[in-house]
Amino acid sequence: MTGHALALTVADRARLSFLGDTRQGQVADLVPLSTGAVVSGTELHAATDDVPVPRRHEKARSPATLAAYAASWRRFASWCDARGGPPLPPHPGMMVSYEEGLAVYLAEAADAITDAGKPSYAAATIGAWCTAIAYYYSEAGLPNPVSSAVVTGTLEDIRGRREEGGFEPDTAVPLLAPMLARLVASIGECANGWRGHVAARRDIALLVVQYAAGLRRGELVGLSIADVSRMRDPEDRFLLVGVRANGGSPAGAEQVLVGRGIDARTCPWCALLRWLVVLAAFDRAVATVADDSVAAGQMAVQRLLRRDVSSAELHICERDWPYFRRAGAPLFRPLDRDGLPHEQALTARSVPNILKRRAAEAGFDPEVVDGLRGHSAPAGAVVQALANGANPYTVARHMRHRDVRTVMGYDRREPGSGVSTADHLGL
């Protein structure tokens, strides 16, 4: 990769023509150029595949996030390399031309169309690229190019053209409470044989716990058995879900309180306990039987399911929780071809796949199934909580959003609905 600046072609610059003459001189006014020493693109990126190692903020990002950033950065670096320059400006004075280059990069991606005539890249994907690029520019001590006038103007133009073309933003279909109840009921009814019942218990617990605790899919699959416990308060009201920030240690986990559910079928405690007893029976048998431990685990699970014939419509919250020798083992695991749990955890990619498959089995509309994502459950929890009158600040704390405006972006209530603040002013 060379150390020269980007060489934008005539076609590249034509993509920016929508900004007209207002673009000229505007970027430098809005984004001050750095006067400090900057690591050059040649030094920091010797090759397209040589992704820089984050320095200043490496502890503030999870490994999965850094991996996603790296993939986005490699794509941008490859694009820059094709135009004769590194992904970072060799000199801070070149920031304006690199902001224009980023705008071209985003506009080019936004113009890509699939064979079906739809945008190749969703708005969320383009936004994720911007976040990654801003991160690496920050690491190099450079201003954020995404906040420049030319890039923000490009992003606004992309949104406007997609709205005119009838393309809605690629947002997840929120999984609301009635939808979750329908899913859970369908999963239970469709379970056949002991293998089907094991999978049903896992999937119900997975979806209900994610919904109740507002977990991102990475947080969900990162849970260990030890991360979930009863609070043991005098009234025994709350379940503690330890969400480990950025994949960190259990000692740094943030505790999320989850109460009991009214309906036993969607009660987080009941759903989780039904899955935990399966894991406990299997793990205990495997740990205590030296010869053919897998067969012993299978027999233990089958015996458990034959004995446990309690109706899904009855609460089992008061039962004692099982004991685990390896409490650090993953809570949610894939199942092998024999229907038995693996030792490793589910991947984050498995979460939307399970949700989509179960929704299709439940007879959901194909468009709804297609719109379900890995964060449909926490998104639906926010929408449902606000619709039920929850305080946005309380919702933000539960969902671990730093800014309440993020929560209000999920507000689907009609203007004027609910109780007016004026009713509480003592007039």
Express each pLDDT in 74-85 by its tens digit: 999 999 999 888
Q: Which of 46-50, 158-162, 257-261 has the lowest mean pLDDT?
A: 46-50
243-252 average pLDDT score = 59
Output the six-digit token pair for 422.
């004026």
pTM to 2 decimals? 0.65
Strands 253-259 and 238-244: antiparallel
Strand partners, 229: 240
In contact, 137 and 125? CB cutoff 8 Å: no
Instruction: Express the helix, strand and coil content of the chain in percent, nearest 5 each.
Output: 55, 5, 40
Which residue is listed with tokens 């920016």? 16
Give CA–CA dist 210/202, Å, rounded. Answer: 12
Give CA–CA dist 256/204, Å, rounded. Answer: 19
pLDDT band at residue 225 using 50, 70 and 90 as cut-offs: very high
Give CA–CA dist 331/58, Å, rounded. Answer: 27
Which residue is listed with tokens 């969400």? 243
Q: Select from 199, 172, 175 the least CA-distant residue to 188.
A: 199
Give CA–CA dist 415/22, Å, rounded. Answer: 36
Strand partners, 240: 229, 257
124-141 average pLDDT score = 91
pLDDT at 47: 34
Strand partners, 257: 240
